[in-house]
Amino acid sequence: MTRWALLVEYDGAGFAGWQRQAQEISVQQVMEAAAARLGGGPVGCTAAGRTDAGVHAIGQVVHLDLARDIDGDKLAAALNFHMKPHRVVVRDAVPVPAAWSARFSAVGRSYRYVILNRAAPASLDAGRVWHVRPRLDVGAMRDAAALLVGRHDFTSFRAASCQAKSPLRTLDRLDVIAEGEHILIAAEARSFLHHQVRNMVGTLKLVGEGKWPAARISTALAARARAAAGPTAPADGLTFMAVTYPDPLFGDGSKRCFFEKQHPKTFST
């Protein structure tokens, strides 16, 4: 039996999220069905992060166990074949120790949120951005984002249905970057609460519109109540970008996708 780590990319549109659902199709369901074709029976897949319905992924990491003797390239190709026509692909596959976990071995996760800030709606980017018409003040949003960085009680920024035992999280990075008509918001932490990134983005939009002063972010944090923060941003603009492990899994970066190469500021440390 070999445990494999998979670098996975998917378009979240049309999926009920990562986690298997009783009535709706999920990314986990598609991957496990494909893996079962190779393993000759049920194969469980564990992801580094459970993305919500409509949320995309470029650097999701998944592990599964297979008894079949196969190399990484052939495994990725076989899974991709069996996952058609669903918009899920395995970008890379490497063997890992049996005790390794995509979820519990991770030491960091990063997300990117994209706002299209112009009068005209999205065409090519439709389904992958949040279209906001009024001109946003990126400087004010950046000042507000800085107040969220660090270790805080993020009760005001998590979903009411969040099942995490503690609302305490350490946010390592929350950058607001203007690139032409796009505003990129890059978030990094060891782990996130349910809807934390989308709730932070929804609140930063209020600051960008001038409806909130940046300092009100601190008031929202201190309130420890979901109603004290802004609305939840749509899922469309959110992408799960990468997972960090103590030892790099997928080589020298040659597997980086087009977006990562075209927008290096989003990924700079």
Residues with catalytic function: 52
> In this structure, what token pair is assigned to residue 115?
């706002």
Three-state DSSP class for residue 260 = helix
Reference 125, options 11, 27, 7, 241; nearest CA is 11
> In this structure, what token pair is assigned to residue 137?
């003040």
Give me the DSSP letters along 159-218.
-TT---S--EEEEEEEEEEEETTEEEEEEEES---TTHHHHHHHHHHHHHTTSS-TTHHH
The dihedral sign for the CA sequence 187, 191, 196, 198: positive
- Rounded-to-integer distance, Cα 59 and Cα 106, Å: 13
> In this structure, what token pair is assigned to residue 201?
């983005």
CA distances from 146 to 151, 211, 240 (A): 12, 18, 21
- Rounded-to-integer distance, Cα 90 and Cα 57, Å: 11
